[in-house]
Structures are given as structure tokens and as C-alpha cells.
């Protein structure tokens, strides 16, 4: 068994504060326009005890200093850094029923559940976008709010800067918060002691090595290839942008059948979700007379913690994801499993060639260039490809009833990140919860409409259900 209590970073690798790394810097630039806000929302049947919640969050901030840090921008050096104050200043913002109702009046969708309305509201609250030219800035990376909603229920929302919180961090944060609110002692929670180094400084020697000329060629290759990718129809590339969410859920039997199909073919669920997205997107782009093959861009995010040196565990908070961008050719006549196997094989080859490390700088550079020059993307939409998936699926099983009751009767929760500044048309945050597939599918609007994306996700669901057999 992994003795995680003994797996601590050497003290020399845990600064109290530090400049952001290259990948983190890309998120700092992206979040100004609306990509890179991570949100967790939990719906509860009991009002959270604010003092208990505040104490639990402060304990988490003490155990994981990056959650206590402030993102500091220096106008003099045009640089960002994490600064860790000695004491947490986190305040929990509370909204009563009338305040929540006023917030909901600003949403265009009346049919979605209150939990999802809170999620969409939080995805579009951006405290990191107010930096004025030539000014200093210092903002928390973590914010907490409690919303009262109808039927005597409440929603707890945690909003984080993605530079300090990838999906593994969000999952770990949720688990540790529930444990602390359920009565666990702080000594039972992993303690890091300081902010760990950025991902670039932990890549094993030689695995990210690439000659300068190769960087140039690959950057050019990615740029030219993106011009030939097939994208979803852009509804409106102008005007203020927001992130919205469509939820894709399958039953236990349907989920089990898909997971068994993945196991028998030795592929991961990310390949199936990517294939379903491509098949759904392709059905929208096909005409009655055209059956030619099209190229689709698929971004797969990898949790690099086990691949770093020294190796990190999921209990090391921060951003340690890397992306692999692949092109998948589809003609519309493929079956789900054939295309899923091809999607996964393409990704696996790229990973075996260390593309997640060697191309990290190239993709960060292109991300920033797209933000600065929207005209480089289709219809100036800032869309870089069709779909984002995660290599590994989050597996969740309900805790015992006593802990859930002390937490406040948690009934449902969703976690995802915003994408409306720059990114793919659809980002899929997948979880298998108590044997059921539950995906938060995030998209930018008005680049894409809610009706368009609800139809796309419904088509994905149909592909998964019918094609999985």
C-alpha cells in the first residue's frame, strides 16, 4: 500500500511562494478572457454551518498553501507569481433566497436545474480579469459562496484559478473538504508544507528535450493543421462571451456496458467520449451528397503527477496537467468502437513519444497567440479544436451515510472549468459516480447556442447508448 503520509516533497522543492511556471502563465493570460476558472458546486438538503465550513476551508489552506496563496501581478516586470500570506483571509459570501433569485433572473435558461444555474453563474464570475494596464494586482486563487435555493436547499460553490487547480486538485479538494466537515482531524489530511514547483521544473531529464528548429517546425505544423480541421458551426463570434453547461448522464447498466467494452478492447473511456463527440459533430456537418472524410481536433488532458521527478501524488495540489492535441479522421460511416479504438490508439502513440512533455511549450505558445490574435482561429471564434477529454475518468463512490449527513446532506455536485476565452468547442469533464456516467459538457456562448449544444450532447448520448452494444 502507498504510504502517502511519508511521500512529501523535499523541503528544498517547496517554496512558500514563487513565480508562476510557463504553463501556469498561459492560464494567467487565458483567464483574463474567460478560460481557466474551475468551479465545484455541491447541492445540500441542510444549510451548511458557515463557521464549520470556514474552519474546514482554513484547514485545507493550511495543508495546501497554494489554496491560501494570492496571485500577484507585477506591472514593473509584467510577471505573475504565487504569494503565500501567513494567514488565510478567505471569506464566505452568502446569498439568501431573494439574492439567488435575482442572480437567476440574469440567465436565459429557465429549464435547467438550480445547481446548474449556480454553476454557470460562478463560471462567469472573473475576479482575475480586472487588472488595469500599468497596475499591480493581488487576488486570492480560491473563493467560496453559499446560495440558498428553492425547496429549502443550499448550494456551496468553490471557485478557483485553474493555474492553481487542475481536475485532480479539484477532486482532492472535494474529498478532503467532505472529510473535514464530516469530523476528520486535520492530521488525517495530507499536508504539503509549501507550494510545490511548477510542472516544467519536475519533468524528468531529457523527456522534454527538443531542438529549437523542431519547436519551430512543430509550432508551424500545429498552426497549419488547425486550418484544415472541421469545427462546429459558429453561431455568433462577436459580443460578450460566457461558459454554459450541458449535462450528459447514463444509467448504471449503460455505463457498465461501455466500461466493459473499454476493458475488453484495452482502451480508456476518453477514446469513447472523443469518438462520440466526433460522430455527433460529424452528423451535423454532413450533407446529403457529401461523405468525404473530415479531420477533427481532439485535445486529451493528462495528469502528469506519476510521470514527474520526484513523482507526485494526487494529494499534491496545483496544476500538473499536460495536453496532447491529435487529429482524427472520420468519414461518418464508422462504428463507435472502431472510431474509439482509433482515437485512443492515436493518443497512446503520442503519449508514448512523450508529446505531453516535448510539445508543452509549443501548445502554451499557440494558446497565448490565439488569445492575442483571434483572427488566427476559425471565424475569430478562438476555438482550437472540437473536443477536450481527460485521459483518466474520475471514479466516485458515495461515502457512508454519517459523513454525508454531517457534511449537510450532499445530494448532487458538479465540477468543471470555463472555456469561453479560448479552447475547444466542447470540454467533457467525466465522472463515473456510483456506477453511472455523469459528464459536465462545457461550451462557449454565443459562439455556440444552448439549443445547438443540447442537441449535440443528446446525439452523443444516443451514440453511446446505441453504439456501445
DSSP per position, 295-336 = EEEEEEEEE-GGGSSS---TTS-S--EEEEEEEEEE-S---H
Cis peptide upstream of residue 339 (ω within 30 degrees of 0):
no
Strands in 153-161's sheet, in edge-to-edge order, are 92-95, 142-149, 153-161, 35-44, 410-419
pLDDT score of 226: 74
| Residue ranges for the chain with pLDDT beneath 70 | 1-15, 108-110, 131-134, 183-190, 211, 213-222, 224, 284-291, 399-408, 468-469
CA 156 from centroid of its chain's CA atoms: 18
pLDDT score of 135: 72
Distance between CA atoms of residues 164 and 170, nearest Å: 10
Delineate the domains of the chain, giving CATH numbers in brackets.
4-467 (3.30.559.30)
Distance between CA atoms of residues 314 and 191, nearest Å: 12
**CB-CB contact of 166 with 303 (8 Å):** yes
Q: Within 10 Å of residue 213's Cβ, how many Cβ atoms?
A: 8
pLDDT score of 408: 61
pLDDT score of 407: 52
- With CA atoms as reference, report the closest residue to 232 among 285, 295, 298: 285
Question: What global pTM score does this model have?
Answer: 0.93
Where do we find the cell 458546486? Answer: 41
Helices 97-104 and 114-123 cross at an angle (nearest 10°) of 70
Amino acid at each position: 500500500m502507498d504510504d502517502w503520509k511519508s511521500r512529501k516533497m523535499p523541503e528544498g522543492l517547496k517554496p512558500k511562494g514563487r513565480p508562476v511556471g510557463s504553463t501556469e502563465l498561459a492560464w494567467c493570460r487565458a483567464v483574463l478572457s474567460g478560460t481557466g476558472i474551475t468551479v465545484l458546486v455541491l447541492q445540500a438538503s441542510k444549510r451548511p454551518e458557515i463557521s464549520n465550513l470556514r474552519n474546514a476551508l482554513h484547514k485545507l489552506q493550511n495543508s495546501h498553501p497554494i489554496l491560501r496563496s494570492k496571485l500577484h501581478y507585477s506591472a514593473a516586470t509584467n510577471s505573475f507569481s504565487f504569494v503565500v500570506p501567513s494567514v488565510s483571509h478567505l471569506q464566505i459570501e452568502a446569498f439568501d433566497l431573494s439574492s439567488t433569485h435575482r442572480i437567476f433572473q440574469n440567465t436565459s435558461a429557465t429549464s435547467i436545474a438550480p445547481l446548474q444555474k449556480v454553476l454557470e453563474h460562478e463560471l462567469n464570475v472573473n475576479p482575475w480579469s480586472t487588472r488595469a494596464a500599468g497596475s499591480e494586482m493581488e487576488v486570492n486563487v480560491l473563493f467560496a459562496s453559499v446560495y440558498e435555493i428553492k425547496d429549502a436547499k443550499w448550494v456551496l460553490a468553490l471557485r478557483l484559478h485553474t493555474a492553481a487547480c487542475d481536475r485532480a486538485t479539484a477532486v482532492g479538494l472535494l474529498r478532503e473538504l467532505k472529510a473535514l466537515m464530516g469530523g476528520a482531524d486535520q492530521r488525517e489530511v495530507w499536508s504539503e508544507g509549501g507550494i510545490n514547483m511548477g510542472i516544467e521544473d519536475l519533468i524528468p531529464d531529457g523527456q522534454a528535450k527538443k531542438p529549437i528548429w523542431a519547436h519551430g517546425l512543430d509550432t508551424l505544423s500545429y498552426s497549419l493543421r488547425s486550418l484544415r480541421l472541421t469545427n462546429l458551426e459558429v453561431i455568433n463570434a462577436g459580443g460578450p462571451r460566457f461558459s454554459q453547461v450541458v449535462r450528459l448522464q447514463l444509467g448504471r447498466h449503460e455505463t457498465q456496458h461501455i466500461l466493459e467494452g473499454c476493458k475488453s478492447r484495452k482502451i480508456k473511456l476518453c477514446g469513447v467520449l472523443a469518438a462520440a463527440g466526433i460522430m455527433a459533430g460529424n452528423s451535423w456537418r454532413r450533407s446529403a451528397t457529401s461523405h468525404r472524410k473530415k479531420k477533427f481536433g481532439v485535445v486529451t488532458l493528462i495528469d502528469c503527477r506519476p510521470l514527474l521527478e520526484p513523482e507526485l501524488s494526487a494529494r499534491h495540489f496545483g496544476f500538473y496537467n499536460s495536453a496532447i492535441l491529435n487529429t482524427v479522421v472520420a468519414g461518418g460511416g464508422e462504428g463507435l468502437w472502431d472510431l474509439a479504438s482509433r482515437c485512443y490508439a492515436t493518443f497512446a502513440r503520442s503519449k508514448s513519444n512523450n508529446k505531453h512533455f516535448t510539445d508543452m511549450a509549443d501548445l502554451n505558445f499557440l494558446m497565448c497567440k490565439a488569445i492575442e490574435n483571434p483572427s488566427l482561429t476559425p471565424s475569430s471564434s478562438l476555438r482550437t479544436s472540437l473536443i477536450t477529454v481527460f485521459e483518466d475518468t474520475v471514479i466516485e463512490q458515495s461515502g457512508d451515510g454519517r459523513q454525508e449527513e454531517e457534511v449537510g446532506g450532499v445530494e448532487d455536485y458538479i465540477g468543471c472549468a470555463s472555456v469561453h476565452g479560448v479552447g475547444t468547442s466542447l470540454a467533457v469533464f467525466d465522472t463515473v459516480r456510483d456506477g453511472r456516467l455523469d459528464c459536465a459538457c462545457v461550451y462557449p456562448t454565443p459562439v455556440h447556442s444552448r439549443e445547438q449544444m443540447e442537441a449535440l450532447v443528446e446525439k452523443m448520448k444516443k451514440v453511446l447508448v446505441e453504439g456501445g452494444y
